[in-house]
Amino acid sequence: MISGSSILGISGASGSIGSKAKYSKKILRIESRLEDSLSHISQEFSDKSISRYIHLAAITDVNLCNLNPDLCFLNNTDNAVKFYLAAREAKVKRFIFVSTSHVYKVSQSSLLDINSPLGPISNYGKSKLSAEKKLSKLDEGFHSLSIARVFSVLDKSAREHFLFQGLLRRAR
């Protein structure tokens, strides 16, 4: 919950999750490019008085990540680390990294929980797990990091390869 003069910043505002958010004076889109420097991002956080930040920006297309692993890791791992360091430099109180269920090992079990074995098979899952590990190490002693592993966004307008569209195809 946002209180007082707290401002929530969100990257990845045009993606599958970010595009569903309602933006206001208290919730701001943070637009950036991969080439933006850490100091530029930190200054943007400071200028906009961001106190909490949700990092949604990522390449989520599994096929694209497998075809272009360098771009995948640059965007999904290195960029997340850059944003975390910028947020910490700008004294952002809470950094929420949105990861994915793709970090889990493929299992015959239909139930997964936080203790399920990790073992991503795609570059997408590997890049997100790499980001989780790097961010966790950077956050030791600061306790400003939260990691959310999202399983799917159920939306009729989701891209064809997303879970909801796959479920619809199977149901038909």
pTM: 0.83
In the chain, the percentage of residues whose pLDDT exceeds 90 is 51
How does pLDDT run across 26-65, given as a tens digit for each residue? 788 888 778 888 899 999 999 889 999 999 999 988 999 9
Mean pLDDT of the region 112-120? 87
How does pLDDT run across 53-99, given as a tens digit for each residue? 999 999 988 999 999 999 999 999 999 999 999 999 999 999 999 99
Residue 149's SS3 state is strand
What does the alpha-carbon distance between residue 140 and residue 79 come to, in Å, rounded to a whole number? 19
